């Protein structure tokens, strides 16, 4: 199926299970795959037949930079739910990455990836 993708959108948010994450905040990287038919938009060159990238970015930005969640799983679910309800998507893949997680040991990043469809 056709899809639109967003890679490495970076935002600063206050999500996390530890109090210092909620107080100090951290960077979050968001990657998306938005599944929908792009054929009609591609044939007609009509923006109304696809998804406005700027509006999708703003939607994700509002969520990540908004009210904090304890879990990145909840953050990913909120992004998926909001995108599926606002845009003509069949399915969405949301990947949330914490580039510098505050956990013992060396990790370049940790995160979650979820795939959700219209119900």
Question: What would the mean pLDDT of 38-43 be, rounded to a whole number?
Answer: 97
Predicted confidence (pLDDT) at residue 109 exceeds the cutoff of 90? no
Question: What would the mean pLDDT of 31-48 be, rounded to a whole number?
Answer: 97
d(CA 80, CA 103): 26
Q: What are the b/e assignments for 22-37, b being 16+ CB within 10 Å? A: eeebbebbbbbbbbbe
Identify which of 13, 14, 16 has the alpha carbon closest to the alpha carbon of residue 102. Answer: 16
pLDDT at 119: 73
Question: What would the mean pLDDT of 87-103 be, rounded to a whole number?
Answer: 91
Active site residue 98: yes
Q: Which CATH architecture has domain 3-117?
A: 2-Layer Sandwich (3.30)
Identify which of 113, 108, 99 has the alpha carbon closest to the alpha carbon of residue 29. Answer: 99
Catalytic residue among 23, 70, 98, 118: 98
Q: Cite the DSSP H helix spans in 1-119.
A: 19-24, 39-44, 53-64, 72-86
Predicted confidence (pLDDT) at residue 110 exceeds the cutoff of 80? yes
Strand bridging mode 110-117 / 3-13: unpaired
Tell me the average pLDDT of the chain.
94
């Amino acid at each position: 199926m056709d899809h639109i993708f967003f890679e490495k959108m970076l935002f600063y948010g206050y999500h996390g299970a530890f109090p210092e994450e909620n107080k100090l905040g951290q960077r979050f990287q968001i990657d998306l795959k938005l599944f929908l038919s792009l054929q009609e938009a591609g044939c007609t060159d009509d923006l109304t037949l696809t998804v406005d990238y700027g509006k999708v970015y703003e939607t994700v930005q509002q969520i990540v930079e908004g009210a904090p969640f304890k879990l990145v799983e909840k953050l990913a679910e909120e992004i998926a739910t909001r995108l599926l309800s606002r845009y003509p998507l069949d399915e969405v893949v949301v990947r949330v990455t914490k580039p510098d997680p505050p956990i013992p040991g060396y990790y370049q990043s940790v995160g979650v990836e979820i795939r959700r469809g219209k119900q």
